[in-house]
Amino acid sequence: MSDWTKDRRHSTEQDRRSNGPSRWSNCRKRGVDGSLRAGGGERENNNRHPDERSSSFTTPESTGPVSRCSMASDWGSLVQEDEDIRRDVQRDMQRRRILGTEVAQRERKTSSGSSGSHDSKDEDNIETDEAVLLRRQKQINYGKNTLAYDRYIKEVPKHLRQPGVHPKTPNKFKKYSRRSWDQQIKLWKVKLHAWDPPAGEDQEETQDHEEQLELGDVMDIELDFPTLLPPCAAHSLSVQGEDEDFSGTPVKLQKTEDVEPGMF
C-alpha cells in the first residue's frame, strides 16, 4: 500500500473512532440493554464533552424533566407503546379530517374578509407523513408525561391560557421543518419547567392522565407559536433524514454545528 493510502486510511480510522458509536448513542434515552439512561450512557459516552446536555432537554438550573411515571424499557412494552402511539396518531388524523370540514364551514359562514390567515387549513400545509407524525407524537408524549405538565393543566384551564405566556403544545399537523419543530418542542418543554414541583416535595402519584385530546391538539384555533425562522430560511435548511433513529427517544437538535449564533 502506498504511503498516501496508508495515511488516508489512518486518518479516516481516527475520525471514525471519535465520531463512531457516541454520535448516535447520545440521542438515545435508553442504553443498549434497554435501561433508561439518566444523562449519559456507559462506555459509549466517554467522548462526550462534560458540559453537554443530557439527552432529555433540561434548563441549566434544573436536574431534568420530572417524569410522572417511568416509561417502559422492556421490549414487550416498547413495542406496545409504539403501536399505541400509532393508533393515537391515526385517531387524531381522523378527528382532524372530520373537524376540519366543520370548522372550515363555520368560517365560511362568518367570514368577514379579515386578514387572519388560516393557511394551515390548506391541504398542502398539513403534515400527513405518518413517520413524521409518529415521531412528533412521541416527542409530545415525553413532554406530557411529566409532573410539570400535570400541574400545569390543573392550574391553568385552557380558556385562561395566554399565548406566549403559557406553554402550548406544538401542533403536529402543521408543516414545519425538522429544525423548526424540534426547536418548538424544546421551547415548549422549557416553558413547562415553570410548573416543576418544588424540590423535596413528595412526588405523589398523580391521577392517570388520560390523553385529553384537546381540540387545539388537532386544530390550530388560537394563535400559534411564532415561527422561529422565516419560512424561506426554514426550507433551505437541510432537513435531516426523516427516517432516522426511530428508537423511542426524544429527538434533540443533533447537529449542533448547524445552530446559528444567537439562536438561543
Partner 1 sequence: MENSTDDYKIQSLDVDAQKILKTALKDPSAVNLEKVSNIIVDQSLKDQVFSKEAGRICYTIVTAEAKQRTGLVFRKNLLNRLQQEFNDREETRARSLHAWTCFVTFICNIFDYLKVNDMPMVVLVHPVFDCLMRLGQPDALMNEEEVDCLVLQLHRIGEQLEKMNSQRMDELFFLLRDGFLLQDGLTSMARLLLLEILEFRAGGWMLSGTAHKYYYSEIAD
Contacts (Cβ under 8 Å, ≥6 apart) of 188? 143, 167, 168, 169, 170, 225
Smaller CB distance to partner 1: residue 23 or 154? 23
**Residue 13 near partner 1 by CB under 8 A:** yes
**Residue 40 near partner 1 by CB under 8 A:** no
Applying CB under 8 A, the span of 22-30, 143-151, 196-204, 210-218 interacting with partner 1 comes to 22-30
Among 83, 107, 155, 258, binds partner 1 (CB under 8 A): 83
Among 14, 63, 80, 128, binds partner 1 (CB under 8 A): 80
Applying CB under 8 A, the span of 27-35, 108-116, 174-182, 218-226 interacting with partner 1 comes to 27-35
**Residue 246 near partner 1 by CB under 8 A:** yes
**Residue 32 near partner 1 by CB under 8 A:** yes
**Residue 258 near partner 1 by CB under 8 A:** no
Among 79, 221, 223, 237, binds partner 1 (CB under 8 A): 79
Least separation, in Å, of the C-beta of 2 and partner 1? 14
Among 11, 14, 20, 237, binds partner 1 (CB under 8 A): 20
**Residue 21 near partner 1 by CB under 8 A:** yes
**Residue 71 near partner 1 by CB under 8 A:** no
Which positions touch partner 1 (CB under 8 A)? 13, 16, 20-21, 23-24, 28, 32-34, 74-80, 82-83, 86, 241, 243-248
